Amino acid sequence: MEIERLLEEAKKELEEIKSPEDLEKIRIKYLGRKGELKKLFENLKNIQPEKRKEYGRKLNELKIFLEEEIRKRRERFEKKEKKEIDPTLPGVYKERGYLHILKEEIKRIEEILVGLCFEIEKGPEIETEFNNFEALNIPEHHPARDMQATLFLEKEKIILRTHTSPIQIRTMLKKRPPIRICAPGRVYRRDAFDASHSPVFHQVEGLYIDKDVTFSNLKGTMEIFLREYFEKKDLEIKFAPSYFPFTEPSAEVAILWERNGKKEFLEVAGCGMVHPNVLKNCNIDPEEWNGYAFGMGVERLCMVKYSIPDIRLFFENEKRFLKQFSF
Ligand code: DAH
């Protein structure tokens, strides 16, 4: 009879199941809304009346049998699943991410300068020759342009900025003084990689324009900044005369720092009083306003602070190096 055949078939299939998914397939096949049993129940009305009672009883028995078998097997699977979680096994270790050392240091530099009332400015890495050179008092044939072996883009007069100083120009062209900004960013030069050169590196620019700004304002700011950054209250700082076309007078800033067991002055920044021509190029009257500017290399600051011997380490992204700075 149909019911017996179905019972045998279901028993055989139940023996063969390997997963909860197999079990579910069987449930749907027999007990589902369009399942085999449903069809047999629907057939009930076609059975001769005297056999109908017996047929119905057997069908019910089959239904209860299948429901029970499926329930038991499902429980068995669930128990097995629970057993597979072994609480004595070591946990799955997920490494925590951290910022790159340069990102971390730029954040620190910004924090100190914001504390000294500098606002953060940004500028594009693709610049005009005007913003990068001309407006900064570096005319076309000036030898200073050789100092910063420039990467020219295909378009004429468009370059990868060689320093963050063009952000000075952009800011002065759009804002009226007083201005007090710092501007971190990536800069590019036509340099090959070696221990102290990289074709791409980072600088932080500073600019303060107001009335009656003095060189001692600049000195004081540089001293406070460097003592904070190098975390040394009595850090010895030296200003030596230097030359930049966009400042007059100009200075190089060096700090007394221990390197390879002996103390020496290491240069960490360039600075000076903004050249009147630069102000004029930005439509600011040098008779009324004046100011100072400074520029620092972020990699350079980091290398001095943490005794990092080679600039390439910042860009190789070797994890054993970077991890040392995951504070
Ligand atoms: N732009 C200079 C460079 O890349 C660094 C610099 C020096 C910036 C003196 C300044 C400054 O703002 O006053 O070498």
pLDDT digits (tens, 9 = 90+) for 188-232: 998 888 888 999 999 999 999 999 999 999 999 999 999 999 999
Q: Which residue has the higher pLDDT, 44 or 245?
A: 245
- 163 CA closest ligand 1 atom index: 4
Contact 170, 123 (CB under 8 A): yes
Position 88 pLDDT exceeds 70: yes
Residue-level pLDDT at 92 = 85
The answer, yes or no, to whether residue 60 has pLDDT greater than 80, is yes
Q: Whose CA is nearest to atom 2 of ligand 1?
A: 295
Lining ligand 1 with CB less than 6 A are 163, 165, 205, 244, 247, 270-272, 293-295
pLDDT attached to residue 96: 84
**Residues 59/37, Cβ–Cβ less than 8 Å:** yes
Confidence band for 327, pLDDT divided at 50, 70 and 90 = low
What does the pLDDT read at residue 148?
Answer: 65
Rounded Cα–Cα distance for residues 294 and 222 (Å) = 9
CA of 276 to the centre of ligand 1 (A): 16
pLDDT tens-digit series, residues 137-148: 998 887 767 766
The percentage of the chain sitting over the pLDDT mark of 90, rounded to a whole number, equals: 63
Q: Is the pLDDT of residue 272 over 70?
A: yes
Would you say 172 and 209 are in contact if contact means Cβ atoms under 8 Å apart? yes
Tokens 């190089």 locate to: 252
**Arithmetic mean of pLDDT, 26-53:** 87
Residue-level pLDDT at 153: 84
Which protein residue's CA is at the shortest distance from atom 3 of ligand 1?
A: 163
Torsion of CA 261, 264, 265, 267, to 10 degrees: -50
Q: How does DSSP assign 15-71, residue by residue?
A: HH--SHHHHHHHHHHHHSTTSHHHHHHHHGGGS-HHHHHHHHHHHHHHHHHHHHHHH
* pLDDT value for 157: 82
101-325: in CATH 3.30.930.10: yes
CA distance 189 to 150: 5
Provide CATH 3.30.930.10 ranges for the chain.
101-325
Confidence (pTM): 0.73
Percent of the chain at pLDDT exceeding 70 = 98
